[in-house]
Every structure is written in structure tokens, then in C-alpha cells.
């Protein structure tokens, strides 16, 4: 059969259709009863059950995976990338108290590689199912000549919901409150440009090199999946923030790009600072290597990387032990890592 002109130009519509034919089966695990219509429509349909809320507020966020993709390209391993993106977006809305409803993805590439596409979508579906979030649509763009061979970019948009009176805004935070940190799995999806420079340029490692301190290859360590804190956050809010009673969980910060210094202030009142104490949690080996061999000042490390803490929770001091115990019971390592003091809305690592 003669190849079509558009395919000769680099965009194979028929290939795209064949690859997407299996999407309904892949996305079945993410289905929620509120989803209407079928996969492949011009728009995803979601019928929010407003009877469950008095004042429902929709919360949305959009993000990408950054240069973590370079590690996936180097190892030709793409199944974790979709999980990273979904979990990152879930965490971004979780800090407001929202639970996810649905997710949409965008994948742009020069040439559509079926095994890569399927791996990424499987990752999206796995994480969406784990977070009880419907994957209701997406876009796959073939753009020859736009990306380097073998490379692509992904982004995702999430929409969640929270009862207005239950939204977390940080207004109740006051001096004396305690900061609890929940463990990350590694770099998550931030700091990879500097991380790649440290490991592959400064330390001259290859992605397949095994690093004794990690008991793993550096590539596999850098591809560890971004942790989702959505479920544990909902558990904490339901248990500790009850209607008619003072809030125990006062503010949450997702420690992403900008580290502690730039993310915690996003939830602080202007007259409060947070002091984070170095050494108050068990630092992952990968961050010890970065700190000891990266040649980067401490102040910058804690602004670029999460340094082993993926989410911070600001709580009333008298309930901190109970909150810590609840987080541990939910399967997340966590520590008391700081406190709130009088200040100007800053986070400081001391």
C-alpha cells in the first residue's frame, strides 16, 4: 500500500488511530460513575454529584515532569513517567484539601512509538486508578522536526473538588505550631537539571552505573515514582478537621520546585515564619551523595531539591503526636521537622 502524503511528511494518522484503539481497555480501571460519554470524544464529560456538597469548589492544576524525561529517554523506560505526572498533580490540589475527580494528559512527540505511548498511558492509568481519579481525555500530537529523535514531552491537567468550608488556606497557622514532614521517594519531579549535572557531569556516572550507597543504578534511583500523598491527606482531614471544632491540620505544602524556601511560604500568614531543622529526618542516600559530592551550597540544595521530604503538614502542637502516628499508620514515614515562629512569611532551614 502506498504511504499517505501526511505519513511521508512524518505524521502517521493511521498509526495513531491503531495505537489509540486500545485506550478504552487501558482506561477502564480509572472509570468513575460520574464519567459520561466514551473515550475519544471532543471533550471529556464528568457529571459532578453536587448533592454531596453544600458549596463545592473545583480545584485545578497543570504540570509537567521536567527533565526527568531525559532519564527515561536514556534508559528507554517510560512506564513511571505517567505515574509521576498524575501523582504530582494530585499532591498540588491535595494541599488545598481537594480530592481528585478527573485528569487529562498531553503527549507531544516527533514520531509516535507505540511501545512508548502504551507505557506512558499505562502509567497514567495506574496512578489514576490508585488515586480514584478518572482519566477522561487527552491529546497526542505528532510533530516531526520539533523534538529530538526518541524524545517527547508530557503534561497533565487535574480537576478536583473540596467543600468550601473545608478548604485549607493557612489562615489559622500561628507561632508554636509544629511542622511534620512526609518522606519522599527521591527527587520526585524537580531538580533534575542540577541532579543530572551532578551525577552525569561532575561524578561522570552513566544511567546504568550501579552506586553502592544506593544499592541501585543511578538511573533507576532517579526514575523512582513520585509519591502521591492524596489518600493520606484525605485521611488526616477527615479525622482531625471536623466541622465545628478547631482545625488540627492547618496548612500543607507540596515540596516541589523551589524546595522548602519557596513552597512553605505559599501557605503561611505574613506574620509567621517556619524553621526547618536539618538532620531531623532520615535523609535518603541519594540526597546524602548530592550534599556531600555535589559542590552545591546547603541553602541552594534546600531550595532546589526536596531533600527527602515530599509534603509538609503544619499542625497544632498538642495534636502533633497523634497526626504523626496517623501518617505512619497510613504507610508513610514522617518526622517532626520544624516549627512556626513569629516572622514575615518566610521558611528557613537551620
CATH fold match for the domains 12-166 and 178-349: no
**Domain ranges within the chain, ordered by starting residue:** 12-166, 178-349
Q: Which fold has domain 178-349?
A: Phosphoribosyl-aminoimidazole Synthetase; Chain A, domain 2 (3.90.650)
Output the pTM of the full model.
0.94
Q: How far is CA 77 from CA 16, 72, 334, in A?
A: 21, 5, 30
Q: In which order are the strands placed within the sheet that holds 178-183? A: 249-254, 309-315, 178-183, 334-342, 272-276, 347-349
Cα torsion 252, 257, 261, 265: sign: negative
Three-class DSSP category at 23 = helix
CATH architecture of 12-166: 2-Layer Sandwich (3.30)
DSSP 82-117: HHHHHHHHHHHHHTTTPEEEEEEEEEEESS--HHHH
Q: How far apart are CA 250 and CA 19, in angstroms?
A: 46
Three-class DSSP category at 232 = helix
Q: How far apart are CA 248 and CA 268, in angstroms?
A: 15
Please, which residues bridge with residue 314 across strands?
Answer: 179, 251
The predicted structure's pLDDT at residue 208 = 96
Q: How far apart are CA 300 and CA 191, in angstroms?
A: 11
Neighbours of 280 (CB within 10 A): 14
Mean pLDDT of successive 10-residue stretches along the chain, which has 350 residues: 66 67 70 82 88 95 96 96 97 98 94 89 94 92 91 96 95 96 97 96 96 95 98 97 91 96 96 96 95 91 96 97 97 97 96
The predicted structure's pLDDT at residue 29 = 77
Amino acid at each position: 500500500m502506498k504511504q499517505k502524503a501526511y505519513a511521508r511528511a512524518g505524521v502517521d494518522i493511521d498509526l495513531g488511530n491503531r495505537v489509540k484503539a486500545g485506550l478504552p481497555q487501558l482506561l477502564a480501571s480509572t472509570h468513575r460513575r460520574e464519567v459520561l460519554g466514551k473515550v475519544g470524544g471532543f471533550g471529556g464529560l464528568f457529571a459532578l454529584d453536587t448533592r454531596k456538597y453544600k458549596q463545592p469548589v473545583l480545584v485545578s492544576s497543570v504540570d509537567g515532569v521536567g527533565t526527568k524525561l531525559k532519564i527515561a529517554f536514556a534508559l528507554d523506560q517510560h512506564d513511571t513517567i505517567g505515574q509521576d505526572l498524575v501523582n504530582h498533580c494530585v499532591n498540588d490540589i491535595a494541599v488545598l484539601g481537594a480530592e481528585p475527580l478527573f485528569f487529562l494528559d498531553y503527549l507531544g512527540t516527533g514520531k509516535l512509538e507505540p511501545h512508548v505511548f502504551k507505557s506512558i498511558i499505562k502509567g497514567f492509568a495506574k496512578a489514576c486508578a490508585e488515586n480514584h481519579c478518572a482519566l477522561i481525555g487527552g491529546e497526542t500530537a505528532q510533530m516531526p522536526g520539533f523534538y529530538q529523535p526518541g524524545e517527547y514531552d508530557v503534561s497533565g491537567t487535574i480537576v478536583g473538588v473540596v467543600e468550601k468550608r473545608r478548604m485549607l488556606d493557612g489562615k489559622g497557622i500561628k507561632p508554636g505550631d509544629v511542622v511534620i514532614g512526609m518522606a519522599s521517594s527521591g527527587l520526585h519531579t524537580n531538580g533534575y537539571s542540577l541532579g543530572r549535572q551532578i551525577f552525569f557531569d561532575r561524578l561522570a556516572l552513566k544511567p546504568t552505573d550501579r552506586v553502592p550507597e544506593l544499592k541501585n543504578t543511578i538511573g533507576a534511583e532517579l526514575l523512582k515514582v513520585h509519591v502521591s500523598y492524596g489518600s493520606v491527606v484525605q485521611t488526616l482531614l477527615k479525622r482531625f478537621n471536623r466541622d465545628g471544632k478547631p482545625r488540627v491540620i492547618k496548612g500543607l505544602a507540596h515540596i516541589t520546585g523551589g524546595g522548602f524556601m519557596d513552597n512553605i511560604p505559599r501557605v503561611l500568614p505574613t506574620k509567621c515564619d517556619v524553621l526547618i531543622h536539618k538532620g531531623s529526618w532520615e535523609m535518603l542516600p541519594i540526597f546524602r551523595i548530592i550534599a556531600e559530592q555535589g559542590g552545591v551550597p546547603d541553602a541552594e540544595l534546600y531550595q532546589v531539591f526536596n531533600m527527602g521530604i515530599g509534603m509538609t503538614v503544619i499542625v497544632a502542637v498538642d495534636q502533633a503526636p497523634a497526626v504523626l502516628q496517623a501518617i505512619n499508620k497510613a504507610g508513610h514515614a514522617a518526622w517532626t521537622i520544624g516549627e512556626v515562629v513569629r516572622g514575615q512569611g518566610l521558611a528557613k532551614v537551620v
